[in-house]
Amino acid sequence: MASIVIIPARYHSTRFPGKPLCPLMGKPLIQHVYENSKKAHLIDDVFVATDSETIVESVLSFGGKAVMTSITHSSGTDRIAEVAAMMNYDIIVNVQGDEPLIKPQMIDDVISLLDDKRASIGTLMKKIEDPMEVLDPNVVKVVFDNEGFALYFSRAPIPFYRDEWKIHSKEQSASGGAKSKDFKSIFEIRNSKFEIRNFHCYKHIGIYSYRKEALIALSRIEPTELERIEKLEQLRALENGMRIKTKETFFETYGVDTPEDLERVKKCLSTSL
């Protein structure tokens, strides 16, 4: 099956405007993503999908390929779906434009997941090693069945180890004298004695492979209730019966959402040289 990586890249990011073109070790951020994607063995091509002529010009200047898309897209999924509909590829891989540490093996892994014909989408996960990531709502967790198919994604701690993770609550007086419970410091997970290796919690790594027809269908479905609640687009796929197959990766990646994130990535790249 023919496969392509499409990298969605938006110039006007709220938290970090101009992020794809930010210099990183002598290259624009988007160039690192593009060049790492090109090294994957199972792909036939790589394109950047963007609504910015400036980004197109930058990509072309380093020898890459780029496509202009509509400025109305609300998500990267919609942006790559527009491009995928114009191209003759069976599998579309969505590599985020702010993931300069993406490894070629990760791309090959998500493509290989679609060898299972039951899967509409493939994605990766990684065992959580930092206990605070279990509590961090910015770290999306995933639970899956015994064949690797995702059951649910959440910003909450899942699975919740009821017997081991003790909930501490204290009663406070609410207005009118009624008592309420304060769950701000909720788990013994915050305790230094907590051993994350004793638990099986996985965080979602946001790279996806799609069958072309599944991607286009997903982009045409309205956001679902669970998606709106958790602000997780992959729940739209699950709620509409699409099967998402997962695979564990041992690679760590860091997305760049802020200038501070960029500094962290610089340190990672510097130590790998």
Confidence of residue 59 (pLDDT cuts 50, 70, 90): very high
Quote the pTM value: 0.88
pLDDT value for 185:
47
Average pLDDT over residues 29-40: 96
Cβ-Cβ contacts under 8 Å for 239 (sequence gap 6 or more): 224, 225, 226, 227
Question: In angstroms, rounded to a whole number, what is the distance separating the alpha carbons of residues 195 and 131?
Answer: 8
Cα–chain center distance at 2:
23
**If you write DSSP's letter for every residue of 211-224 in order, what string do you get?**
EHHHHHHHHTSPPP
Whether 86 has a pLDDT exceeding 80, the answer reads yes
Between the alpha carbon of residue 246 and those of residues 90, 209, 241, the distances in Å are 19, 10, 16
Fold assignment, 3-127+200-272: Spore Coat Polysaccharide Biosynthesis Protein SpsA; Chain A (3.90.550)
Question: In angstroms, rounded to a whole number, what is the distance separating the alpha carbons of residues 23 and 25?
Answer: 7
- Helices marked H in the chain: 29-38, 53-61, 76-85, 104-113, 131-135, 212-219, 225-230, 234-239, 259-272
pLDDT value for 225:
96
pLDDT value for 163:
79
Whether 195 has a pLDDT exceeding 80, the answer reads no
Among the residue ranges 67-71, 228-232, 236-240, the one predicted with the least confidence is 67-71
State both tokens at 245: 């197959």
Whether 115 has a pLDDT exceeding 50, the answer reads yes
Give the three-state DSSP class for 70.
Answer: coil
Question: In angstroms, rounded to a whole number, what is the distance separating the alpha carbons of residues 157 and 140?
Answer: 9
Confidence of residue 221 (pLDDT cuts 50, 70, 90): very high
* pLDDT over 70 percentage in the chain: 87
Residue-wise pLDDT for 144-175, tens only, equals: 999 999 999 999 999 998 877 766 555 554 55
Question: In angstroms, rounded to a whole number, what is the distance separating the alpha carbons of residues 53 and 38?
Answer: 22
Place of tokens 């690192």: 32
